[in-house]
Amino acid sequence: MKTTTRIVIIALIAGLTACKQKSSKEKTETVQKTENINSEEVGIDAGTTLLTEKAFDTIIDGKQVGLYWVESSDIKAAFTNYGGRLIGLWVPNKNGNMTDVVWGPGNIEGYTRTTEPYFGATIGRVGNRIAKGKFTLNGETYSLPINNGENTLHGGKKGFQDVVWEAEQPDKQTLVLHYRSPDMEEGFPGNLDVKVTYSIAGKTLKMEYEATTDKATPVNLTNHAFFNLNGEGSGSILNHKVQFYADQFTPVDEGLIPTGELRDVKDTPFDFTEPHTIGERIDADNEQLKFGQGYDHNFVLNQTPAEGMNHAATVTGDQSGIVMNVYTQEPGMQFYSGNFMQGKNTFKSGAKDEFRTAFALETQHFPDTPNQPDFPSITLNPGETYHTVSLYNFSVTP
């Protein structure tokens, strides 16, 4: 009787151990699949099942929030109209497997409760920083909410990243977003009508911005996508290879406000005129890098022509072989190397926003332009139309 009981107990333990091992194996496989988001089995739909309409179906400020897909036969993107956000972008890697190169939470709560408010967002009215939250226009001084040290960042405390945009989809390749920013919203003058069109053709994501106003106002629109060309959850971006078509950058003070100087990148860690990895010089003994805790600087594009606009950047994922070329009509581009990421937010893959695991390339006019008379103007007047286009094209290394 004792022998029989012992056999039964051993069998039960073995069964439980096998079950536990199987569960652990399944969990590991699931994490690996969601972190890499590149499966040969499902082609362009790889990883997109991590996003559901239900996870974004809510009402914010009395407006309906939803999930929207934009795609070609080559690449596919996911957006939400809360903040006009790009929340995922699937492109083929060097093996032909689809890879999600844009970080983003997998549900609306991940955006409304985040410690990083700009993941994938459409940024406005004025992208980047305005010194001490003040500027003077046509003899009148305007005060803005302070939300970044003693400065205003990305439009104020409730910039365009926190509003619900009206959304239209004329076809599966296009998403059109509308927002009317009322006079004096976040301290900015004039009623500003904004239209942003996100569209895909082939392997290119196009971002097109338009705006009109009934009173002179500064406007500098951009998108704050966080990229990792090896895929969401793949780790550090420091081995990504970067080339910028910029001979100068705008140095900043300790508050990351431009000094007004256009400084040559030659013989500095900011010289990406030839390809370098992001991490190669990021910890150099350099005052500008110390101010930004890494790269968080505007590069002055040298107007290298490509695609009918300025070639801004070429970035290559070291593991995936994915190459991203950025083209823009803007004079500048902010390069941010993920220096303030702290692992406090969880993305659709289950990965967290760990230190320097994503980067941003924000096409733009220069920071603090309203207070810098020598920088290209961002003032939009009544009767004028603000219009600018940026392209993000994807390919793979030969």
Q: Please indicate, yes or no, if residue 7 is contained in any of the structural domains.
A: no
Dihedral pair phi/psi, residue 366, rounded to 5°:
-75, 155
Tokens matching residue 163: 């509003």
Q: Which pLDDT score, from 0 to 100, does residue 50 have?
A: 76
Residues 6+ apart with CB under 8 A from 12: none
pLDDT for 242: 98
Q: Does any domain span residue 76?
A: yes
CA dist., res. 204 & res. 213, Å (int): 30
Q: Please tell me which residue in 35, 185, 186, 362 is annotated as part of the active site.
A: 362
Residue 344 belongs to what domain range? Answer: 44-398
According to the model, what pLDDT value does residue 45 have?
Answer: 53
Q: Taking the model in full, what pTM does it have?
A: 0.89
305: part of which helix (H) or strand (E)?
A: strand 305-306
- The answer to whether position 237 is within a domain reads yes
Q: Which of 224, 240, 297, 311 is catalytic?
A: 224
Q: Is 147 inside any structural domain?
A: yes
Domain with residue 257: its CATH number is 2.70.98.10
Give the distance, in angstroms, between the CA of residue 156 and the centroid of all CA atoms in the same chain: 18
Structural domain contains residue 15: no
Whole-number Å distance between alpha carbons of 127 and 221: 6
State the amino acid at position 256 in one-letter form: L
What DSSP string runs through 236-274? Answer: --TT-EEEE-EEEEE-B-TTS-B-S--EE-TTSTT--SS
Q: What is the dihedral of CA 34, 37, 38, 43, to 10 degrees?
A: 100
* Farthest-apart Cα atoms in the chain, separation: 98
**Spatial separation of the C-alpha atoms in residues 175 and 328, rounded to whole Å:** 19
Q: Which pLDDT value is given to residue 136?
A: 98
38 belongs to a structural domain: no
Q: Is 362 a catalytic residue?
A: yes
The answer to whether 154 is a known catalytic residue is no
Residue 19 in any domain: the answer is no
Torsion of CA 193, 327, 169, 359, to 10 degrees: -90
- Domain count across the chain: 1
* pLDDT confidence of residue 19: 40
- Structural domain includes residue 113: yes
Kindly give the parts of the chain with pLDDT less than 50.
1-44, 46
pLDDT at residue number 357: 98
